[in-house]
């Protein structure tokens, strides 16, 4: 079972070159050696994103040695959402000790290229750059102890073991991306 073209805007990873909270620009070329690339369209102010932050940190910790990399991208406009400014992103990354890349998509071109709609919205690509999973992290954003389905972890386990992803697409829940 593949990913529906009606829901997923892309099938192959799109290049990007975006500034990170670590003071450097990051592009796809530096991540080509990763066996799995997890792009999470994210932000600072969304309660769904905030609820998932510790789980994303855990995923990066648990899968980094297996060749996976989490990259969070904030595409929200900041005129009406100043909490999502680059300066506040830097502050949030330090406060939470993010162990993954947190990038700013000021032009919103990355969000548009990937077809992202929500924060968080997950896109997982294999080493060949093929989209293998899109959707949400798990089935319970409010209560981590009551999670029954770990969609992102299951997709990563399948990709890293060379198997098909059993559930390649779920509906992304969260706040909508704030467009300019």
Question: Tens of pLDDT along 136-145?
Answer: 999 999 999 9
Domain residue limits, the chain: 17-176
Q: pTM score, two decimals?
A: 0.94
- pLDDT at 9 (0 to 100): 58
The two tokens of residue 19 are 């500034």
CB 94 within 8 A of CB 62: no
Residue 3's pLDDT band, with cuts at 50, 70 and 90, is very low
- pLDDT at 74 (0 to 100): 98
Distance CA 84, CA 74 (A): 7
102-114 pLDDT, tens digit each: 999 999 999 999 9
Q: What is the mean pLDDT of residues 149-161?
A: 98
- pLDDT at 14 (0 to 100): 81
**pLDDT surpasses 90 at 35:** yes
**pLDDT surpasses 90 at 8:** no
Fold of 17-176: Glutaredoxin (3.40.30)
- pLDDT at 6 (0 to 100): 36
**pLDDT surpasses 60 at 1:** no
DSSP annotation of 38: E
Q: What is the mean pLDDT of residues 47-51?
A: 98
Distance CA 26, CA 30 (A): 7
Distance CA 87, CA 14 (A): 26
Of 114, 133, 115, 124, which is closest to residue 15 (Cα–Cα)? 114
Residue 45's pLDDT band, with cuts at 50, 70 and 90, is very high
DSSP annotation of 83: G
């Amino acid at each position: 079972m593949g990913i529906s073209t009606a829901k997923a805007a892309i099938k192959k990873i799109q290049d990007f070159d975006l500034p990170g909270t670590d003071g450097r620009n990051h592009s796809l070329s530096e991540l080509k050696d990763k066996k799995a690339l997890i792009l999470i369209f994210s932000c600072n102010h969304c309660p769904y994103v905030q609820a998932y932050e510790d789980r994303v940190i855990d995923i990066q910790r648990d899968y980094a040695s297996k060749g996976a990399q989490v990259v969070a991208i904030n595409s929200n406009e900041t005129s009406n959402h100043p909490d999502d400014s680059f300066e506040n992103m830097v502050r949030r990354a330090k406060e939470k000790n993010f162990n993954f890349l947190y990038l700013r998509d000021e032009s919103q071109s990355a969000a548009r290229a990937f077809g992202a709609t929500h924060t968080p919205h997950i896109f997982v690509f294999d080493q060949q750059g093929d989209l293998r999973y899109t959707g949400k992290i798990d089935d319970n954003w409010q209560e981590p102890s009551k999670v029954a389905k770990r969609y992102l972890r299951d997709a990563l386990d399948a990709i890293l073991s060379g198997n098909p992803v059993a559930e390649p697409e779920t509906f992304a829940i969260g706040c909508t991306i704030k467009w300019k």
